[in-house]
Amino acid sequence: QVQLVQSGAEVKKPGASVKVSCKASGYTFTSYGISWVRQAPGQGLEWMGWISAYNGNTNYAQKLQGRVTMTTDTSTSTAYMELRSLRSDDTAVYYCARGSTVTTSDYWGQGTLVTVSS
């Protein structure tokens, strides 16, 4: 069965970076992309970007351009999302999701809480 297992919770100071991993299993990793979506406490969903696991092409949300990098390691079927220059309003649960397209995320990871606090 399709599974996406994310890395554990992180606590970071403002200005630091965080890298969240998402290990996929149960399907051919390179046949799909991976989307990243975050959710601040008590708030709605925010799309961060998408990466093709086939060729590494990326699409990032404009507001995160320059601060976010999404990558994949096809040898381990793992996707990564790095966010730099963290601010308090980056505190959120970060989700990875399998996406056949940029707009369709059919299987989701369990989420990773990233807390940014001094």
**In the bound complex, what is the minimum distance in angstroms from residue 25's beta carbon to other proteins?**
16
Residues of the shown chain interacting with other proteins in the complex, contacts defined by CB under 8 A:
35, 37, 44-47, 49-50, 59, 61-63, 95, 97, 101-106, 108-111
**In the bound complex, what is the minimum distance in angstroms from residue 106's beta carbon to other proteins?**
5
9 or 45, CB closer to other proteins?
45
CA distance 103 to 101: 5
Question: Nearest CA to 92 among 24, 51, 35, 46?
Answer: 46
89 or 118, CB closer to other proteins?
89
Quickly count: other Cβ atoms within 10 Å of residue 90's Cβ: 20
32 or 50, CB closer to other proteins?
50
16 or 45, CB closer to other proteins?
45
Chain centroid to Cα 78, Å, comes to 11
The helix (H) or strand (E) run that includes residue 43 is none
**In the bound complex, what is the minimum distance in angstroms from residue 26's beta carbon to other proteins?**
14
CA distance 34 to 47: 12
**In the bound complex, what is the minimum distance in angstroms from residue 61's beta carbon to other proteins?**
5
Residue 85, helix vs strand vs coil: coil
